[in-house]
């Protein structure tokens, strides 16, 4: 065990975990406002393809990320229109958004598959992911707007009675979630594995969704959960490569088991889970009531 | 007047129906493909799609083809295969190992539809199997790696512990250790065919542990790209991936399916199709090595690799020549013999010298 090896492992863990942090923190804000958006995977894919195509066409990293985030805003606004205005079922609409995102991203990216690009260094984004988690945590627990957002998620009727615009706040939360998912996607297609491939997020959106639940809707715990998952994923690869004689299936299960175990233990107090889960999650808001 | 329009519409519908039938009977045979990934993966599925297009260009109007991409290897595969079978397809290629039982299940329901399952071993009256001897290419990759490695550590990204993948690892290691007895092979089982992020992680992990050559048995060019970025060498997988990693790509093992697909579709058109097992390699042109990278490899080594290709084609070189021992030190192929196809098809052990347990 030398120090270079350990630094290398830590670097790979940071690079591999960052997309989970982005998508997880975005979905957490959305859910805290009382909306469940299962479209994470779809929004990540559209964000990834938009960033990639923009980069190929304009050769500008900044434009790539701007357009990617705009695509996330558009995708999540579509979702917001359906669930907030038309009051469609959030679970069904979110699933539809994922399916739509998979198809749309394949269509947009059809002619760009296998175009070689120069990848961008991931470190700015790794730092950014930590800053965003810190910002969200500060926003939730130290600012009035954060309190209002959480109130909307707990009881939209009370928040409405107090004069807050439930729909506007939820719209903003959904859009924030969408832009974070798109950022996660663009990070994947430009920094992490610089390429466009159909379905290249390979289920990370669903892991991000699970992280929000296991983190019991607390921003700091998104970081803990994501890093346990990413860390164990990379560590098991290292153990395999060291030739440790254990079944490889076990290694591949390990990230899921470890993440679940740790987060179940740190959130074993049932009352606290009930308190931190947004009470109005998935409930539609009727203004007329 | 309305009655007249109704009658006319019904007449048109009948006309269209009968014409449609005539077209289906007399002309194009419909050929369907089930893909595990997207045709744009520049790897496994991409090469099947190249084969499909080759078939269409060879047979022209005699066939028309469709494909369903990204079909998971579970009960969804049954639905996808059945969808093709029930929509008038005459011949269906299922192009991944774990579609095996699903293919047979649907084949039972549609005895008149012909099925072809890639890399499997279960057949029926209307189910053929076909595969390529990719391990012949692995032997050449192994020989090159044995000469090119400086750290004597090669990183191997494996997908699932099926005979196909195990055979590749063994063939690679046997050839590599023959020219370089000190070589060590580090294997990561990714348990996925397709996840660019995870494939890149695995490649970076192996490089971090000292590997200076990356070999992959997964489907995207992410590992090759990671090798390029880290300044180490790599072999492409399934198709020529040199454009994505020009300073890392030594060569690649290419899968050439086109002629086989054309021949089998033609057999269906002619009515001569019958169930059989096909396992072809370099000699038949189903396995081809990409151009060797002259920027990275010395000319003498390229010449050795080309000589090996010739020897494999004329049968004087076999990837599994005895004596071969397994990890426990038992002799599995005696000296002077080569492993038979039965042993190769069911290979589920590591040869002596490879560390770690093979997942079962």
Q: Is residue B3 part of a domain?
A: no
User: Shortest CB distance from A192 goes to which of B70, B197, B206?
Assistant: B197
CB contact under 8 A, B209 and A238: yes
CB contact under 8 A, B188 and A110: no
Assigned token pair, B333? 């192929």
User: Shortest CB distance from A243 goes to which of B189, B222, B356?
Assistant: B356
**What does the mean pLDDT of chain A come to?**
91
What is residue A257's predicted lDDT score, i.e. its pLDDT?
86
Q: Which residues of A touch B200 (CB under 8 A)?
A: 192-193
CA-to-CA separations, B162 to A195, B76, B198, in angstroms, rounded: 28, 21, 20
Q: Which residue has the tokens 């079978």?
A: B85
d(CA B282, CA B173): 19
What's the whole-model pTM score? 0.87
Q: Is residue B1 part of a domain?
A: no
Query: Long-range contacts: B272-278, Cβ < 8 Å, 24+?
Result: B273/B91, B273/B114, B275/B123, B275/B124, B275/B125, B275/B126, B275/B127, B275/B128, B276/B123, B276/B128, B277/B121, B277/B123, B277/B128, B277/B129, B277/B130, B278/B128, B278/B129, B278/B130, B278/B131
Best B69, B226, B356 member to test A by mutation, with max A CBs in 10 Å, is: B356
Q: Which residues of A touch B155 (CB under 8 A)?
A: 241
The chain A residue lying nearest B242, using CA atoms, is A116
Q: Is residue B14 part of a domain?
A: no
What is residue B18's predicted lDDT score, i.e. its pLDDT?
40
Domain count, chain B: 2
CB atoms within 10 A of CB A175: 22
Q: How far is A1 from chain B (nearest CA, A)?
A: 10
Please list the residues that pair with B351 across neighbouring strands.
B326
Q: How many residues does chain A have?
A: 289
Assigned token pair, B336? 């002077």
User: Shortest CB distance from B189 goes to which of A8, A242, A248?
Assistant: A248
What is residue B17's predicted lDDT score, i.e. its pLDDT?
42
Q: How far is B85 from chain A (nearest CA, A)?
A: 24
CB contact under 8 A, A200 and B221: no
Please list the residues that pair with B234 across neighbouring strands.
B214, B249
Q: How far is A196 from chain B (nearest CA, A)?
A: 9
Q: In chain B, which residues have pLDDT < 70? A: 1-27
What is residue B16's predicted lDDT score, i.e. its pLDDT?
44
What is residue A248's predicted lDDT score, i.e. its pLDDT?
72
Q: Is residue B356 part of a domain?
A: no
- Is there a single domain that holds both residue B125 and residue B181? no
According to DSSP, residue A282 is labeled T
- Is there a single domain that holds both residue B175 and residue B303? yes
Q: How far is B290 from chain A (nearest CA, A)?
A: 18
Every domain of chain A and the residues it spans? 3-276
Q: How far is B300 from chain A (nearest CA, A)?
A: 31
What is residue B145's predicted lDDT score, i.e. its pLDDT?
96
Q: Is residue B223 part of a domain?
A: yes
Q: Which has the closest alpha carbon to A50: A206, A176, A182?
A: A182
Q: Is residue B352 part of a domain?
A: no
- Is there a single domain that holds both residue B216 and residue B155? yes
Give the number of A-B residue pairs with CB atoms closer than 8 Å: 118
Per-residue pLDDT of chain A (289 residues; tens, 9 = 90+): 688 899 999 999 999 999 999 999 999 999 999 999 999 999 999 999 999 999 999 999 999 999 999 999 999 999 999 999 999 999 999 999 999 999 999 999 988 887 888 889 999 999 999 999 999 999 999 999 999 999 999 999 999 999 999 999 999 999 999 999 999 999 999 999 999 988 899 899 999 999 998 888 999 999 999 999 999 999 999 988 888 777 777 777 888 888 878 777 877 777 777 777 888 888 888 876 4
What is residue A11's predicted lDDT score, i.e. its pLDDT?
95
Provide the CATH number for the domain around residue B30: 3.40.50.2300
Q: Which CATH number fits domain A3-276: 1.10.3470, 3.40.50, 3.30.420, 3.30.70?
A: 1.10.3470
Q: Which has the closest alpha carbon to B80: B64, B68, B97, B65?
A: B68
Tell me which residues of chain A have a C-beta less than 8 Å from any C-beta of chain B: 5, 8-9, 12, 15-16, 19, 106, 110, 113-114, 116, 119, 188, 192-195, 197-204, 233-234, 237-238, 240-249, 251-252
pLDDT 10s digits, B117-146: 998 888 999 999 999 999 999 999 999 999
- Is there a single domain that holds both residue B48 and residue B164? no
Q: How far is A170 from chain B (nearest CA, A)?
A: 32
Q: Which residue has the tokens 């079944």?
A: A247
Q: Is residue B358 part of a domain?
A: no
Start-end of H helices in B60-148: 75-86, 100-109, 134-148
State the complex-level ipTM.
0.90
Q: Which residues of A touch B206 (CB under 8 A)?
A: 241
* β-strands B331-333, B324-325 pairing: antiparallel
The phi and psi torsions of A218 (rounded to 5 degrees) equal: -115, 125
Question: Do the Cβ atoms of A204 and A19 come closer than 8 Å?
Answer: yes
What is residue B23's predicted lDDT score, i.e. its pLDDT?
42
**Residue B32 structural domain:** 19-132+257-280
Q: Is residue B11 part of a domain?
A: no
């Amino acid at each position: 065990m030398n120090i270079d090896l350990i630094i290398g492992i830590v670097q790979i863990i940071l690079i591999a975990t960052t997309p989970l942090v982005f998508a997880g923190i975005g979905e957490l804000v959305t859910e805290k406002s009382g909306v469940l958006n299962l479209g994470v995977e779809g929004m990540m894919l559209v964000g990834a393809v938009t960033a990639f195509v923009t980069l190929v066409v304009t050769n500008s990293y900044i434009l790539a990320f701007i357009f990617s985030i705009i695509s996330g805003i558009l995708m999540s606004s579509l979702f917001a229109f359906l669930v907030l205005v038309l009051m469609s079922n959030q679970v069904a609409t979110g699933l539809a958004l994922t399916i739509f995102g998979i198809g749309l991203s394949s269509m947009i990216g059809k002619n760009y598959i296998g175009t070689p690009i120069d990848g961008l260094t991931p470190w700015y984004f790794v730092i950014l992911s930590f800053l965003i988690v810190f910002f969200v945590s500060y926003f939730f627990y130290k600012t009035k707007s954060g309190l209002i957002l959480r109130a909307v998620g707990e009881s939209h009727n009370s928040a409405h009675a107090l004069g807050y615009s439930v729909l506007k706040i939820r719209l903003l939360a959904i859009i924030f979630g969408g832009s974070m998912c798109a950022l996660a996607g663009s990070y994947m297609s430009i920094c992490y594995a610089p390429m466009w491939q159909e379905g290249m997020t390979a289920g990370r959106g669903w892991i991000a969704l699970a992280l929000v639940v296991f983190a019991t809707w607390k921003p700091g715990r998104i970081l803990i959960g994501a890093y346990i998952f990413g860390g164990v994923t990379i560590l098991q690869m290292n153990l395999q490569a060291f030739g440790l004689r254990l079944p490889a299936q076990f290694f591949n299960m390990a990230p899921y088991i470890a993440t679940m175990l740790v987060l179940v233990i740190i959130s074993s107090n049932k009352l606290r889970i009930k308190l931190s889960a947004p009470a109005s999650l998935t409930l539609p808001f009727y203004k007329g009531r | 007047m309305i009655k007249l329009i109704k009658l006319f519409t019904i007449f048109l519908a009948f006309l269209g129906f009968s014409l449609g039938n005539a077209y289906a009977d007399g002309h194009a045979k419909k050929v369907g493909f089930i893909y595990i990934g997207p045709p744009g993966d520049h790897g496994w599925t991409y090469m099947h799609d190249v084969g499909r297009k080759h078939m269409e260009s060879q047979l022209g109007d005699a066939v028309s083809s469709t494909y369903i991409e990204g079909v998971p290897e579970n009960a969804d595969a049954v639905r996808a295969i059945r969808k093709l079978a029930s929509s008038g397809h005459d011949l269906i290629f299922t192009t991944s190992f774990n579609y095996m039982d699903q293919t047979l299940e649907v084949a039972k329901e549609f005895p008149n539809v012909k099925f072809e399952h890639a890399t499997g071993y279960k057949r029926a009256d209307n189910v053929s199997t076909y595969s390529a001897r990719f391990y012949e290419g692995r032997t050449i990759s192994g020989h090159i790696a044995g000469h090119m490695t400086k750290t004597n550590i090669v990183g191997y990204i494996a997908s699932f512990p099926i005979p196909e993948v195990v055979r590749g690892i063994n063939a690679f290691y046997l050839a590599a250790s023959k020219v370089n007895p000190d070589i060590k092979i580090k294997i990561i089982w990714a348990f996925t065919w397709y996840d660019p992020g995870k494939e890149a992680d695995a490649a970076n992990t192996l490089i971090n542990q000292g590997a200076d050559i990356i070999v992959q048995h997964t489907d995207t060019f992410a590992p090759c790209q990671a090798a390029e970025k880290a300044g180490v060498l790599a072999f492409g997988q399934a198709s020529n991936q040199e454009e994505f990693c020009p300073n890392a790509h030594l060569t690649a093992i290419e899968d050439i399916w086109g002629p086989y697909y054309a021949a089998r579709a033609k057999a269906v058109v002619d009515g001569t199709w019958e169930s059989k097992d096909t396992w072809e390699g370099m000699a038949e042109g189903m396995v081809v090595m990409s151009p060797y990278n002259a920027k990275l490899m010395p000319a003498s080594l390229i010449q050795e690799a080309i000589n090996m290709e010739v020897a494999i084609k004329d049968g004087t070189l076999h990837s599994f020549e005895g004596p071969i021992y397994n990890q426990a030190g038992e002799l599995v192929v005696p000296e002077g013999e080569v492993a038979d196809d039965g042993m190769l098809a069911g290979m589920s052990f590591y040869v002596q010298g490879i560390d770690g347990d093979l997942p079962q």
